[in-house]
Chains A and B, each alone.
Chain A
């Protein structure tokens, strides 16, 4: 799967977790999950759950605070899909 396809899916997942917002829809890889996109701790929890379902991966070796930006999440998903 190409990186931009992963990103589009991730955006859908984050919108499902936090609601449709402009910030999430227009996010870049440098967007900070917390301060730019408004993801709080339970929002991150739902995002992780959504990623596990959508990509059939498991977040078994990382912590919640390991991801600061959208790019960090994409890197992790890509590494799991490789």
Chain B
């Protein structure tokens, strides 16, 4: 199928462009274009449940954009309904609701009226994107001691960083976000704005397109991007300097096995638990409430060395063993 700027004819599938998306309809005449909802920006704010199949004139449909007309190849011409049947189906669905952006949108509607089955090139493109997401990429970098702070996106993150008073913490929060920008570009070829990052009420950052986790400590920052839920934690090995309290880290079921463990082992367990907590993603972090898994496919521990010293990196994910780790000083 190709899209042209030809004059539309009776029963043509038509579309207009708005931003990165299209709005579709069935052209009957200049005064009657049947479509599932109106293009965003052309309608007052309505809930998805209130969107319905309606008819509008061409001016309303187009909203100042050029109307493109579908030109079918020979195979599509054979498969499509007759023009009369297409219009009959479209008119019979006027007033229908049940709009769903992913499964029952304006493009699905136009295809159904024309070919008798749903198809949406736009959601197919998203599905292909999701299928091509990296399994699990983890990025780690050291950070400089000072910086000239640039603007961050979204504004909520900018505010989070600017209101952090502790200078070291502020630097780490800033640079972990810059590392996330780097990771998005390298792994997903995506800009930070496109990622549509939002902070949940319990303080976690999420994207509708992929899973992520961030961690930072003592001059080193890390970011994980994955198609599956993931949690990471990074701890400086020099923090295993005293006898860590097993009672504060381990629950009753674990204390027997690990109570005589050295400080480094306890620090690894602590990092594992924090990474598991971040993967699960809700509530407050209480290490005694988290059970460390023996399944290597779920939790992976790596030692990371950089100019700042040695670190424990804990990765929790059902595909943790497939994680690719990129340990480069990118700043």
Interface residues of A (CB under 8 A from B): 21, 23, 32, 34-38, 40-42, 45-46, 48-49, 52, 59, 63-66
Show 15 A/B contacts (Cβ-Cβ < 8 Å), sorted by A: A23-B167, A35-B164, A35-B165, A40-B169, A40-B217, A41-B233, A42-B270, A45-B244, A45-B248, A45-B249, A46-B239, A48-B248, A59-B248, A63-B289, A64-B284
Tell which of A38, A41, A63, A66 touches B274, judged by Cβ atoms closer than 8 Å. A41
Of all chain A residues, which has the CB nearest B161?
A35
* Contact partners of A48 in chain B: CB under 8 A: 245, 248
14 new A-B contacts, CB < 8 A, other than A21-B168, A23-B166, A36-B165, are A32-B165, A35-B166, A36-B164, A36-B166, A38-B168, A41-B270, A42-B267, A48-B245, A48-B248, A49-B242, A63-B286, A64-B285, A64-B286, A65-B285
Residue-by-residue, is B288-315 near A (CB-CB < 8 Å gives 1, otherwise 0)?
Answer: 0100000000000000000000000000
A77 CB to nearest B CB, Å: 16
Q: Number of B residues contacting the other chain (C-beta, 8 Å)?
A: 24
Contact: A38 with B166, CB < 8 Å?
A: yes
* Contact partners of A40 in chain B: CB under 8 A: 169, 217
Of all chain A residues, which has the CB nearest B283?
A65
Tell me the bound Cα distance from A45 to B235 in angstroms.
12
Tell me whether B148 is interfacial, beta carbon within 8 Å: no
* Contact partners of B164 in chain A: CB under 8 A: 35-36
Tell me the bound Cα distance from A32 to B166 in angstroms.
10
Of all chain A residues, which has the CB nearest B288?
A63
Interface residues of B (CB under 8 A from A): 163-169, 217, 233, 235, 239, 242, 244-245, 248-249, 267, 270, 274, 284-287, 289
* Contact partners of B242 in chain A: CB under 8 A: 46, 49
Tell me the bound Cα distance from A19 to B245 in angstroms.
19
Contact: B165 with A23, CB < 8 Å?
A: yes
* Contact partners of B270 in chain A: CB under 8 A: 41-42, 45
Tell me the bound Cα distance from A26 to B286 in angstroms.
28
Of all chain A residues, which has the CB nearest B168?
A38
Of all chain A residues, which has the CB nearest B273?
A41
Given contact pairs A37-B166, A38-B168, A42-B270, A49 touches B286 in the complex (Cβ within 8 A): no
* Contact partners of B267 in chain A: CB under 8 A: 42
Return the 3 tightest CB-CB contacts between A and B, nearest first.
A38-B166, A65-B284, A63-B286
Contact: B166 with A21, CB < 8 Å?
A: yes
A15 CB to nearest B CB, Å: 13
Tell me the bound Cα distance from A66 to B284 in angstroms.
8
Contact: A65 with B286, CB < 8 Å?
A: yes
